[in-house]
Each structure stands twice: as structure tokens, then as C-alpha cells.
Structure 1
Amino acid sequence: MAANDFYKTPSDAVTAVNSIYFLLNAGSNAVQTPYNTLFNTGMNFMGDDENPGPGATNPDVRSQSVLGHASTGLRVLQIWQQHYSGIKKANIAIEKIPGIDFGANTKLRERLIGEAKFLRALYYFNLVRLYGGVPLILKDLSTLEEAHSKPRRNTVQEVYAQIEKDLIEASTVLDPIAGGADAGRATAGAAKALLAKVYLTQRKWENAILKANEVITGPYGYNLVQNYAEVFLPIYKNGPEHIFSAQFKSVSQGQGNNQAPRSVLTGVPGIVGSYADQVVFYSVPDATKPGGVDKFFSVYKLYSKKDKRRDVTFVTKFKSPTNGNWYGRLNDPAIPGDSVPFFNKYWDPANVSNLAESGANVPIIRFSEVLLILAEAENELNGPTGIAYTNINKVRRRAGLDDLTEGLSQHQFRDSLYLERRLEFVFEYQRWFDLIRERDAAGNGILESSLHKVGKTNASAKHYLFPIPQQEIDLNPNLEQNPGWL
């Protein structure tokens, strides 16, 4: 159905905006969307926390995990296409909804346009971080003439300017909170939180501080939940820490979180797991291990034993719902207790026998991140002030950790904050974006050194950006390839 034939009633407008959200989390074993396994197979696997496990047999995915991907790679193309599909739906909604008669309910019309702008901003934010400058398409390319246009890549600055514009405009019309049937929709608080992250990414420290403070002190009711496990358990979804998440629903037309079974050991009676996701194991010196080397170091061992996040983020064994026995696997029988840690954040206790129906949401931005955004921006602008310490310590205390050591230098605080982000957001599709954003004391990026440390020694400067998909260049020769890619 043509857009002009569809956009007639307020109900049509709601349905159209719902379809923009659909590109965040729709998926199945055959189709992946960004927050339903695509970011994991197309991005997480390249990092220093996660590798494809034995159940991830796709050669394209396994090649990408060791940075052997190319511009013709399937995941490189899918991430691009999925995001532009969402942008196309947002553009149509933004263009068509103003012409619909909402009667006296003009507030709903403005809110729906605001939701579309928020989602368009999120899609472009992902694209510009992954690919650099991309074509900035802001209207419905539905006519024959427009459909055959060959847009050039906009600059990174131009893309970010539009992202900021969309989020600022969205924040003025979206509801402060969304509950009941509207739970999970974009809100004014979500727009400001994402804008704070956009500013942080661009190193606009003052603006990041301003927006983070507006979220923290605003009328949104956000707070840290005391029990870290409640952030992820489906029965607590959309609680006070959840600013914006990709929504999943159990036993409802395939709307479950397909990431959940990929993190489970195969062969456990009563649980269908593929063990497609595995931590990155790498070697570090350790005098307590045979040969003076721990061959099975991973992000799991970066947690202190009293960090409450570790045993929520990971499990080391599974209980069969069929026979009640526990199943796990040792990496090396000669090293007692060195069990494989399995990612656990999308486990759904109500759907153990069919985890593909997991109702666990995927957090896109939550309140703990806003606290860390404020701490990071404050440190970068003014050094490790009391404000910076206060906000990072809120996150640490919830994890059961002591306050961060006083008297750190700016660089020491930065490193501590980077580690805090890593441990707080494991398996939430944040790590790759952090690797390409974060910098050392000299202002150099940390991507290459971080990947070299875990054995991915071919990591180079070109990996700060994905290649532009060759299939898109074939369709549009005006698209220039990123440096270093063929």
C-alpha cells in the first residue's frame, strides 16, 4: 500500500510509528535486526569480550570476529540496510503524520512525530559511529525520480548536527514518562539521555554534562534498582532504571529475544541452547597457574569476587529442568574451578525450555549509563572532581564495591571509568562503540591496543570504521569507500 493511501487516521499514524520500533527488535533464526542478535554477530564478536562459540558456524560471522571481514560481508551489509529501513519508515511518518486530522488530540500527533525523530536519530547515531559520514536522507524517497537519486555521503559533522536536531525537537514534545500500554516508547527523558551520549561521543563535554544533569534531576523518576539482576529479569522490565530498551515479548508471534538461547551450553536436557556466544579467552601472566600463564583469562576475571554484577552477567553451569542435574564444562581439567563463563543477561526463568521466547529486553540506554556519562564528561572537562566521583560511586556501590580511590589523576580516573563501563554493560552491545570512542592519556584511540591484547593482532586503524557495503556502492557509485577498505 502506498504511503498516501495509508496515512488517513490517527490509528494509521500509531501503526506507522510502531513499525519504526519494529526494526529495532524484530527477528528470528532467519532474520536479524540490530538489537535482536545482529549487533552481536555483526559487531560484538569483533571486540575483546566476546567471540563466536562452537554453535556460530556462519563463515561470514566467524571471519568478521577475527577482523577478516570485507566490504562484501553479509553483516556489514545487513547493519547498513536494517538501519536505513528504519530511517525510511521514520521519514515517511515525519512527512505524513502532520497531514492527518487528529481532532482535538494534537498532542498525540506531536508525540508520534517526536517518537519518529527519536528513532531516526538513534538509527543515524549507530550508522555514523560505525560507518562515518553516511548519506543523510530526511524525506521519503518514494517517487521514481527520487528513488533513482544517488546521494553522496554527508560529513560526520552534518550527520551529528541532524541527530542533535532530531533529539532536541523530540525532547520538547515527548511525554516525560511512558507507562501502561505505552511502556517502552521513547520519552523526553530518553531523548535527553541519548543526546547526552551523542554529545559525549563528540567530546562536547559541557553539553553532555548539561543533558545528563537534566535527566538525573528531571521529572522522569529514573533511579538505580538496588538488585542488579532486576535490570534484566523480564518480570522487572521497564522499571526505574530503564530509560529506553528494545522490547521483547514471550510466546507472541515470534517476538522473543533470540539472543537468549545462543548463550547456553548445548546438550543440557530440557534446554535448547546453541552456545553460539563465547567469551574471548586470552593469555595473561599468572604465577599461580601451570607454566606461569593463565590461558583462560576473560572479561569474567576482571570482576572482583564481591562485584555483584559478575554472577548476574555470567553463569558457569546450567540446571536441567528435565532431570535436575547441573551441566557445565571446564576449559582445562588441570586448572580447578576454571569453568566456562556463559553470558546470562537475557535468560528468562519463565521460558527455560524454550529460550527463543525469552521476554528479556535489551537495554539501549539506562540510568547507570547517564551517571557514568556525567562522571566521564566532568572528568574530561574539569578533572576528577567531587561530581565525577559521586556519580561513578553510585554505580560502584550498587555493585557492592567500595568507592573509587580518592586522589586519582585525570588519566587514572578515566581508566577506572572505562573499566566501570565495561563491567556494567557487558553483552549490551556497548563494547564495540566504546572501543572506537575511548582514548588513552595521549589522546589516541584504544581499539587497536585492546584487540591486540586479546590476540587480534591484525587490528589496525582502518577498523575504527566499517567498510561501506560494496553492494551499496554498486548501486550508488557516488558512495566513496572508507580508507583502507577495498
Structure 2
Amino acid sequence: MKRLHILLIAAAGLLFTTSCKKTLEEKAYSFISPDDFYSSGDDAKVAVNGIYSELYTYDLYLQPFWNLTLLDDDHVSGADWYLGAAGAGNPQSYWGIDRPWAGLYLIIARANTVLEKVPGIASANITDDLRSRVMGEAYFLRGWAYFQLVQLYGGVPLRMHSLSVDPNQNVPRSSVKATYDSIISNLKNAESHLFYASDSRSGETGRVNKGVAQGFLAKVYATMGSGALTGSITVRGGEDNAFYPYTKTVVAGYDSLDSKACYTLARDKALELINSGEYTLFDNWADIWLKANRNLKEHMWEIQSLAGSSFLNDLHAYFTAGSYPFGLGAVWMTNNHYLNYEEDIDTRVLDGVTHQYTAYRAVSAGTNYYYPSWKSAKYSTDASGNSYYNNGGTDDKAFVTKFSDVSSPDVSTSDAFFPVMRYSEVLLLYAEAENEVTGPDANAYLYLNKVRLRSKATSAPAGLSQDEFRSFVLEERGREFSLENIRKYDLLRWGVYLQVMNKISLGQNNISKVRTTKNLLLPIPTSELSANSAITSNNPGW
């Protein structure tokens, strides 16, 4: 892993320093031209690391990318000073609202250059396997970037060449379907070029590989399938945490897609990956989040971090109970979502929520708190006789433990990893897709229950109808991936985001959950509208 970070730093510092003037414009800080640079296998590796390096910026995973989405769902609450913008339906008030567009198109620009230049490296200077791997990573990252863009903005301009090859800045928005066609083409190319993680040719730890490409193909197909589906789905929520049925309509732009065909492709691709034997679940749910287990078993792709380097983030400070800069963390799971689990047996809340903690104080001891207030007999005193407090109101904060195990918890930035895809998602994607293609058969139950039983939860209820199984899987994804930046995308692809959020209205800690049509998509940045005359209007409501 150290090798990966050294290469990333070199790539970010030497080759891929960029200007903010134009999203797709690379500013040269060296006399070495791209043609001169791409001359060896080492050059190809540095170049593809330059694509990865954009993930570790304030365009994307250092904050804006998850701030604009993770904070904006029905299962999250937090401090009003932090959730008062994007978390309250006001992304325009957040300083980073335009950054994901810039960051994702920068990934695309760099991938385009790699895909144009690496094929021209002389065979004497690069092995066939390395060329294939680098090309596969570039295809994947380009496809992944467009997948994020279509979910956040709808149909977007498809820029498939570097500006040196195609200098035209005025590219119109493609349809949602055309954008997905490009995503699938890129991910299929990635799949054919990459190697499984178990193959020594797959490269350094932390890179994407063939299994990750297959997992994302399954996810893309399922996103298309759910977006194009009609029917009904039930979601637990509202202020009373009851079960509310919603009519599921086709998501705008997905009307030309064949839902069952998409789900068939999702099921088959997920099963192909399952049958490959490349990944397994950790036996104990809590083991997923140990530092020692990063990049192992079910961790298919994580955003890496490295203590003592510039590759650090704010996850520990914002998402854990005892926060160095704030005293207490700024984001937590809602009480209602906590009650969606079997709280006395499910390790995703027994081990996944901090039940006794102390507010961080640099000088004096902070206050001891316990959670939840209704479990005072269990949590108000620890084994050493120390007392913990909860006022039954504002003290009820379900801080997750997912980002707690870091090298230096007493600093404002840390080396927490962020999961982009875990193997449990592949299992749940299979269960979801099989239900939509065939119904809730034994295979659908098998993979759903693999996820549930691993966390000591009871098996899913037998005899569910197709609609009931669909609803159960959606809720299971909410339980399994809480605060992993998946829930909002799920509500959007099922077409129930507005209904679910507005059913809550005013959430825990007085965080507004009221949403309007404009909250379905982010606004295209004004800088893009000014520079690209082929885009004549913004997204609805913006």
C-alpha cells in the first residue's frame, strides 16, 4: 500500500497539477510533453495513479462528494451547523456544490489521455499485462465517473477524447440512456482488460480490478432496472417510523429502459462474481472496520488513506462519538433508523453504534454519555462502575463505529478508509435482481440471509410477496450500509426520495427533511453553462 501512495503523491505533484479555469483543461507545469512522457510502463503507472489522485481532493472524497449525498437521506441526523446546508435540502448554500462536477470530469479528462497514450508505448518498454491493466483501470475510472455524474446530474456531456484530440468545448448533454450506454461500455472494457485481485497481475493494493468492474456492472444494471420499474414499494419512516407504501413510477429519463432485461443482466453479473470465489464476508460484522482488515475479504474497493501523509480525511472527526475538533461528532444515525434493526441481537447496532462514550476535551475530562436513552439499565454504567448520562432528548445520538479505528484519533484528520463497494452489496444486488426477474425464490432468500445472518439478525420472513421482498431488500440495504453514501442513491433510483423525505418533514435535531423537485438532481455549475454553449438550460428548479 505504501507504494501506491508514493506513486499517487508523485503523480499528483509532478504530472497532474491542474488549473481551475476549465474542468477539462490540464495546465502544464513541466517542459515534458505528454507525447514525451508516455514512453515506459512506469510512466503508464504514474499516469493512471494521476487519475486516482483526484479522488483524494476537496472535489471528491475529502468532503464535498459525500457531504452532498450522504448527509441527505432519511436515516441521517447531526449537528445543525453541519447538516444545515446539503443535509437540510439546501445544497446551494454549501461551498462545495460545484466540486463533484469538476472532480469527476477531471477524472474523465485524465482517463481519456491515458487511453489515448498508453497504446502507443513501445512493446519493448511495457509488458502486455501492464498495458492491459492500466487501460482497464482508466476505462473503469471513466465509467465510474460517468455513473456518478448521471446519478447526480442526469444526462451529461460525453467527452470521450482529450482536448488535444477534440478541442470542442461545446458538447450537448446526452440522454440518460446514452450516458448509461457509455458507462456500460467503459465498465465492460475495464472487465476485459483487468485481472482479479487474486491474480498477481492485478497490481498494487487499493486499485480497482476485474471483480470491482463486475460488481459495478451489476450495480449499474440494477440502478437502471429499478429506475425503469413501475409498481409499489414500502419504506419505514415518517415521524412515527411506520411502514408507508409508495407507488413506484418510472424515474425521469429511464422510461426507454427495459427493467426486466436490466435486472437480468444485474443478476447474472452479480452471480458471475459470486461464483468466482474472489470475495467472502467477514465472519463477524465488527471485523469489517478494523484497521488490520482494510482491503481484505469483502472490501472490494475502498478510498485509501495513509497516516503520516497528505492522504488523510475528516471522517473520524465528523462521524465518530468522541471527536477531537468538536468534542462530539457531527453526524449520527437517527433514532428511527436505529429501531429498524433488531437492537438486542443485530451486531450492526450492538457493535456498530457507540453505546458509551466521552466527549473529547483537550484538557479536562469530558461528559460521559450513553445511547440509547431507553436502554439505561444496560448502558448507563460500565463494568468499572463509571456512570454515563442521557437526557432522553438531545443526548440520543447513535454514532456509528465504522470510522473509529484510526491511527491517531486525537487529531482533526485521520487515516480512516471509506468503502466504495463491499461484497455484501453484491449479495444484496443479486437478491434484489433475482426477485425482480423470477420472484422471491430460494436463491434470492439465500443471499439476502447471508448478509443478515452474518450480523446475527434473524432470517428474512418467509413467504414474502415480490413487492414485500423488494421492500425488505431496500430496508436491508439501509441497515447494512448506514452512513456509507448509498441510501440517498437508493431512494432516488426507486423514485421515492421526495415522498420518503417529505413524510418525515422535520427530522431529529430539527433537521429539515422537506424536499422539492430541484433536490432530485444537483445544478450544473454556472461555469459549465458559461463555457459550454451547447447546454442551454439547467436542471429543473435551478
Q: Does the pair score TM above 0.5? A: yes
Give the structure 2 partner of residue 304 of structure 1: 342
Residue 465 of structure 1 and its aligned partner are, at CA, apart by: 1.8
Structure-2 separation of matches of 1:99 and 1:119: 20
Amino acid aligned to 2:45:
V
CA contact (8 A) 1:330 1:337 kept: no
Give the structure 2 partner of residue 339 of structure 1: 396
Structure-2 separation of matches of 1:345 and 1:227: 14
Residue 162 of structure 1 and its aligned partner are, at CA, apart by: 1.1
3-state SS of paired residue (2:84): helix
Amino acid aligned to 1:171:
E
Give the structure 2 partner of residue 199 of structure 1: 221
Structure-2 separation of matches of 1:336 and 1:475: 50
2:304 is equivalent to residue 247 of structure 1: yes
CA contact (8 A) 1:16 1:93 kept: yes
Give the structure 2 partner of residue 442 of structure 1: none
2:96 is equivalent to residue 40 of structure 1: no
Structure 1 residues 312 and 125, CA, compared in 2 at 3 Å: closer, same or farther?
Answer: farther
CA contact (8 A) 1:13 1:97 kept: yes
2:493 is equivalent to residue 454 of structure 1: no
Residue 39 of structure 1 and its aligned partner are, at CA, apart by: 2.5
**Any residues of structure 2 matched to 1:73-472 within 5 Å, and which?**
74-103=95-124, 105-142=127-164, 146-147=166-167, 149-177=169-197, 182-203=204-225, 204-220=262-278, 222-252=279-309, 254-265=310-321, 271-273=324-326, 275=328, 277-279=330-332, 297-305=335-343, 306-319=345-358, 327-328=368-369, 335=392, 339-354=396-411, 356-358=413-415, 360-438=416-494, 445-455=495-505, 456=512, 458-472=514-528
3-state SS of paired residue (1:138): coil
CA contact (8 A) 1:178 1:187 kept: no
Structure 1 residues 331 and 169, CA, compared in 2 at 3 Å: closer, same or farther?
Answer: closer
Give the structure 2 partner of residue 284 of structure 1: none
Residue 481 of structure 1 and its aligned partner are, at CA, apart by: 3.3
CA contact (8 A) 1:130 1:465 kept: yes
Structure-1 separation of matches of 2:336 and 2:204: 39
Structure 1 residues 81 and 457, CA, compared in 2 at 3 Å: closer, same or farther?
Answer: same
CA contact (8 A) 1:115 1:186 kept: yes
Structure-2 separation of matches of 1:139 and 1:337: 52
3-state SS of paired residue (1:472): helix
Structure-1 separation of matches of 2:394 and 2:325: 25
Amino acid aligned to 1:6:
F
Structure 1 residues 120 and 23, CA, compared in 2 at 3 Å: closer, same or farther?
Answer: same
Residue 274 of structure 1 and its aligned partner are, at CA, apart by: 6.3
Residue 336 of structure 1 and its aligned partner are, at CA, apart by: 8.7
CA contact (8 A) 2:321 2:354 kept: no
Segments of structure 2 that go 5 or more residues without pairing to the other structure are 1-29, 226-261, 374-389, 506-511
CA contact (8 A) 1:102 1:109 kept: no
Structure-2 separation of matches of 1:361 and 1:191: 20
Q: What do you get for the CA RMSD once the two structures are aligned?
A: 2.6
CA contact (8 A) 2:355 2:372 kept: no
Residue 195 of structure 1 and its aligned partner are, at CA, apart by: 0.3
Structure 1 residues 330 and 344, CA, compared in 2 at 3 Å: closer, same or farther?
Answer: closer
3-state SS of paired residue (1:251): coil
CA contact (8 A) 1:465 1:482 kept: no
| TM-score (ref. length: structure 2) | 0.77
3-state SS of paired residue (1:45): coil
Amino acid aligned to 1:93:
V
Structure-1 separation of matches of 2:194 and 2:524: 34
Structure 1 residues 41 and 342, CA, compared in 2 at 3 Å: closer, same or farther?
Answer: same
Residue 474 of structure 1 and its aligned partner are, at CA, apart by: 1.8
Structure 1 residues 74 and 381, CA, compared in 2 at 3 Å: closer, same or farther?
Answer: same
CA contact (8 A) 1:245 1:364 kept: yes
- Tell me how many residue pairs correspond in the alignment: 447
Amino acid aligned to 1:308:
T
Structure-2 separation of matches of 1:20 and 1:38: 18
Structure-1 separation of matches of 2:66 and 2:484: 9
- Percentage identity across paired residues of the two chains: 30
Residue 128 of structure 1 and its aligned partner are, at CA, apart by: 0.5
Amino acid aligned to 1:13:
A
CA contact (8 A) 2:371 2:396 kept: yes
1:340-385 C-alpha deviation (Å, 9 max, x unpaired): 2123311224322226122x32111111000000000011111111
Structure-2 separation of matches of 1:230 and 1:433: 26
1:395-450 C-alpha deviation (Å, 9 max, x unpaired): 00001011111111111111111110001001111111111012xxxxxx210121
Structure 1 residues 142 and 273, CA, compared in 2 at 3 Å: closer, same or farther?
Answer: farther
Structure-1 separation of matches of 2:271 and 2:536: 39
3-state SS of paired residue (2:283): coil
| TM-score (ref. length: structure 1) | 0.85
Residue 206 of structure 1 and its aligned partner are, at CA, apart by: 0.5
Structure-2 separation of matches of 1:348 and 1:406: 37
Structure-1 separation of matches of 2:54 and 2:466: 40
Structure 1 residues 352 and 388, CA, compared in 2 at 3 Å: closer, same or farther?
Answer: same
2:532 corresponds to which of 466, 476, 484: 476
CA contact (8 A) 1:251 1:357 kept: no
Amino acid aligned to 2:537:
Q
Give the structure 2 partner of residue 18 of structure 1: 49
3-state SS of paired residue (1:318): strand
1:287-341 C-alpha deviation (Å, 9 max, x unpaired): xxxxxxxxxx332232221110114432144356988876337898553996321
